[in-house]
Amino acid sequence: MQDVKEFRPKIVAFCCNWCSYAGADLAGSARLSYPADVKIIRVPCSCRVNPMFILRAFQRGADGVIMAGCHPGDCHYTSGNYFARRRMTLLFSMLDYLGIERERTRVEWISAAEGAKFSKTMNEFVDTITALGENKRLEDLRCKK
C-alpha cells in the first residue's frame, strides 16, 4: 500500500448575506450535509467580492473558490449581483486564458429558500475540485507547509 494522504480540497465560499448565506443556514436547518471542506465567508452582497479576494484565497492555499449570491433580479441591493456577474465573468475568463483551471472558480445563484440547492451545489463543487486535485497554478509556495 502506498502511503498517500487522501486529498481534501480547501474551498472558500463567498456567500451574500441575504440569499446564499441564508440558503446555507437553511441547508443547515434541514440537515442537508455537504463536505466540511467548504468554509463560508459572509459578505453583504456578491458585488462585495473583489477579484483580489479570490486570488488571495488561491494564494493562501484554497483549491476552489465559489461565490454565491441572490438570483439575478433578486438582489437585496437591486443590482449588486448583476455587477458581480459581469466582474466574475471577466475574471473567470481571464483565469481560463492564463491556463488556470476554469473549474476551480464558480458562481451560483442560491436564494434563501434554496437550502437544497446550496447543499447540492457544494457537494458538486467539492467533487469537481477533488477530481481536479491540488491548486498548483495559482499557488504561493510560501504559504504551504
Partner 1 sequence: MKKLSLAKLNDFFAAVAAKETLYLPVNNNVGKAEYKKWESGVEMSSALNTVRSAKDFFFPQTENLMEFKMTGKSVEVFDTREECEDFVIFGVRACDAASFAILDSVYLVDPVDSYYKSRREHGTVVTMACSKPAETCFCGTFGIDAANPAGDVTVWEVEGAYMLRANTEKGEALLASVADLLEDGCEKCVEEAQAKTRAILAKLPLAGLTTEGVGVGKTKELFDHPAWASLSESCLGCGTCTFVCPTCQCYDVRDFDTGNGIKRFRCWDSCMYSDFTKMAHGNSRNSQLERFRQRFMHKLVYYPDRNDGTFGCVGCGRCLARCPISMNIVKVMKTLGGKN
Partner 2 sequence: MQRIGVFICHCGTNIAATVDVKAVAEALSHEPGVVFSTDYQYMCSESGQTLMREAIREHKLTGVVVCSCSPRMHEATFRKAAEKEGLNPYMVEIANIREQVSWIHKDMKEATEKAVILGRAAIAKVHLNKPLKAGESPVTKRALVIGGGIAGIQTALDIAEAGFEVDIVEKEPTIGGKMAQIDKTFPTLDCAAYILTPKMVDVAQNEKIKIFSYSEVEAVKGFVGNFKVSIRKKARYVIEDKCTGCGLCTEKCPQKKVPNPFNMNLDTRRAIYIPFAQAVPKVAAIDADYCTMLKTGKCGVCSKICAAGAIDYQQKDEIVEREYGAIVAATGFNPLKPDKYNEYGYSTCPDVVTSLELERLMNAAGPTAGTLLRPSDKTHPHTLVFVQCVGSRCDAENEKGKPYCSKICCMYTAKHAMLIREKYPDTEVYVFYIDVRTPGKNFDEFYRRAVEQYGVHYIKGQVGKVVEENGKLKVQASDLLSGEQLHIDADMVVLATAVEPDKSARGIATMLTASMDTNDFFTEAHAKLRPVESPTAGIFLSGVCQGPKDIPETVSQASAAAAKVIGLLAKDKLTCNPCVANSDEMLCNGCSSCEKVCPYGAITYSDKEFRGPNRTTLIRRVASVNEAVCQGCGACTVACPSGAMDLKGFSNRQIMAEVDAICKM
Partner 3 sequence: MQKMMEKRALELLGDGTVNRVLGWSAGDFIYDVTPAVFKTAEEVQDKFLYNDFCGANLSKYLVKESRKEGKILVFLKPCDTYSFNQLIAEHRIIRENIYAIGVECFGKADEEKLRAKGITGITGIEMKDGTYTVHTVYGDETVKAYEVMADRCLSCKSKKHVAYDELLGSEGEVVEDCNRFDMVEKLEAMTPDERYEFWRGELSRCIRCNACRNICPACTCEQCVFDNPNSGVSQKAAVNSFEENMFHIIRAFHVAGRCTDCGECSRVCPQHIPLHLLNRKFIKDVNTFYGEYQAGENPEAKPPLGKYEKNDIEPGEAGGAKA
Q: Which residue has 463543487 as its cell numbers?
A: 125
Is 33 a binding residue for partner 3 by CB under 8 A? The answer is no
Where does this chain touch partner 1 (CB under 8 A) — which range of 15-23, 65-73, 99-107, 137-145? Answer: 137-145
Segment 54-73, which members bind partner 1 (CB under 8 A)?
60-61
What is the spatial distance between Cα 96 and Cα 70, in angstroms, rounded to a whole number? 25
Residue appearing with cell numbers 467533487: 127
Q: Are 109 and 68 contacting, i.e. CB atoms less than 8 angstroms apart?
A: yes
Cell numbers describing residue 22 = 441564508
* Interaction partner, residue 92 (partner 1, partner 3, partner 2, none; CB < 5-8 Å by kind): partner 3
* CA end-to-end span of the chain: 25
Other CB atoms closer than 10 Å to residue 54's CB: what's the count? 24
User: Is residue 19 classed exposed, middle or buried when 0-12, 13-18 and 19+ CB atoms within 10 A define those classes?
Assistant: buried
Binding footprint of partner 3, residue count (CB under 8 A): 38
Strand-pairing partners, residue 67, are 14, 107
* Binding to partner 2, residues 30-59 (CB under 8 A): 31-34, 36, 39-45, 47-53, 56-57
Q: Looking at 76-84, 97-105, 126-134, which segment touches partner 2 (CB under 8 A)?
A: 76-84
Residues that bind partner 1 (CB under 8 A): 60-61, 142-143, 145
List of residues contacting partner 2 (CB under 8 A)? 10, 12, 17-19, 21-22, 24-25, 27-29, 31-34, 36, 39-45, 47-53, 56-57, 60-62, 70, 73-80, 83-84, 87, 111-114, 119, 143-145
